């Protein structure tokens, strides 16, 4: 509906900007540290930024788990990355963030099979509307709540392997986010509800990183929210046909951006000396101040407590 129309307009504006400023050349791949002996999880790692990020981590020698929903796509991406990098420690594990049962199953399988975890890259995202089997709005659950649960379930392991990092792929769309703690997880009403829901979930990403950093002070688990740029075409796979018709010709323009978006994510994952900036929001040009709601500590805390409540986590008084 209207949300897609608004998105269409936004994409046309983005296209206009791209063309007006000429196509930026692909970012020069930065020198990355040696990651042999380190284990990384990339959610939504079979396409777009996730796949580009996983490829680079594998190139640096990391053991990489592509945690994604589609087995055929996940297996194909893993074997492509193994082939391209010569690193055989790249594997697919099933994770559907639209199912909390699947998140729990993934975490218990991972913890049983993998002794280590140094990098958790919460990258998967959707922009479609709808409701999950758990009764939450789809973008809120996939983009925030499922990742929140995943992070909590893996936190002990991240602590025991510290120094370790959580990187949350957010978006500048958090600028339009509005979170009402008492309505958490319910789709917003109104004309642009799907678009609003997406923006709300991206604000949740920024606040999740902020509050996680606060709570993990002293543990050597650090956390970063990152806006990768206007990227990932597969984000729009549920878009109406007219919008897809607009997107397909754009794919070649946006393709550059997957590599570029991945650079921003990889910076947060691998750059030395970022620890003092834990909890901050980054773009490809470094740390940025998020929009006001994205630095509201009371809201960050309310989101955290609300998320725990929706998931039945957290002990009274703890």
H or E stretch including 134? none
pLDDT of residue 318: 42
Query: Which pLDDT score is estimated for 251?
Result: 63
How would you label 132-159 residue by residue, b for 16+ Cβ within 10 Å and e otherwise? Answer: bebebbbbbbbbbbbbbbbbbbbbebbe
Torsion of CA 56, 58, 64, 66, to 10 degrees: 50
Low-confidence ranges of the chain (pLDDT < 50): 232, 317-318
pLDDT at 33: 84
Distance CA 199, CA 186 (A): 14
Task: Please give the helix or strand (H or E) that residue 44 lies within, else none.
Answer: none
In 239-308, where do the E strands start and end? Answer: 281-283, 286-288
What domains can be seen in the chain, in order of their start residue? 30-310 (3.40.50.720)
Instruction: Check if 224 is active-site.
Output: no
CA separation for the pair 192, 221 (Å, rounded): 37
For residue 39, give both structure tokens: 């284990």
Residue 250: its pLDDT value, please? 66
CB 77 within 8 A of CB 51: yes
Q: Is 150 in contact with 43 (CB distance < 8 Å)? A: yes
Give whole-number Cα distances, 280 to 214, 227, 250, in Å.
11, 11, 31
Determine phi and psi for 272, rounding to 5 degrees: -70, 145
> How far, in Å, CA of 62 to CA of 37, rounded?
6
Which two three-digit tokens encode residue 271? 């750059």
Contact call for residues 146 and 107 (beta carbons, < 8 A): no
65: phi then psi, degrees, rounded to nearest 5:
-105, 120
* Pick from 237, 260, 242: nearest CA to 44: 237
Predicted local confidence at residue 60, as pLDDT: 96
- Which candidate in 16, 198, 224, 281 is catalytic? 198
Q: What pLDDT score does 72 carry?
A: 97
Contact 47, 79 (CB under 8 A): no
């Amino acid at each position: 509906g209207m949300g897609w129309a608004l998105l269409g307009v936004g994409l046309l504006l983005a296209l206009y900007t791209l063309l007006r400023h000429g196509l930026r050349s692909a970012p020069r791949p930065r020198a990355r540290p040696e990651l042999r002996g380190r284990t990384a999880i990339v959610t939504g790692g079979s396409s777009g930024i996730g796949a580009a990020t996983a490829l680079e981590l594998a190139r640096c020698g990391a053991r990489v788990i592509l945690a994604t929903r589609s087995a055929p796509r996940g297996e194909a991406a893993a074997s492509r990355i193994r082939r391209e990098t010569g690193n055989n420690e790249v594997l697919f594990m099933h994770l559907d963030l639209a199912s909390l049962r699947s998140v729990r199953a993934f975490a218990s399988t991972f913890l049983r099979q993998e002794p280590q975890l140094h990098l958790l890259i919460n990258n998967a995202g959707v922009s479609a509307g709808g409701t999950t089997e758990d009764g939450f709005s789809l973008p809120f659950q996939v983009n925030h709540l499922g990742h929140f649960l995943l992070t909590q379930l893996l936190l002990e392991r991240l602590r025991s392997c510290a120094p370790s990092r959580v990187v949350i792929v957010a978006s500048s769309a958090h600028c339009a986010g509005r979170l009402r703690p008492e309505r958490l997880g319910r789709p917003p009403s109104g004309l642009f509800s799907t678009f609003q829901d997406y923006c709300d979930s991206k604000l949740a990403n920024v606040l999740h990183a902020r509050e996680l950093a606060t709570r993990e002070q002293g543990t050597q688990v650090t956390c970063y929210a990152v806006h990768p740029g206007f990227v990932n075409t597969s984000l729009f796979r549920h878009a109406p046909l007219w919008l897809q018709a607009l997107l397909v010709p754009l794919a070649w323009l946006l393709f550059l951006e997957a590599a570029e978006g991945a650079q921003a994510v990889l910076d947060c994952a691998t750059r030395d000396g970022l620890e003092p900036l834990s909890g901050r929001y980054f773009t490809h040009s470094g740390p940025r101040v998020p929009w006001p709601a994205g630095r509201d500590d009371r809201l960050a805390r309310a989101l955290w407590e609300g998320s725990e409540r929706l998931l039945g986590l957290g002990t009274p008084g703890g």
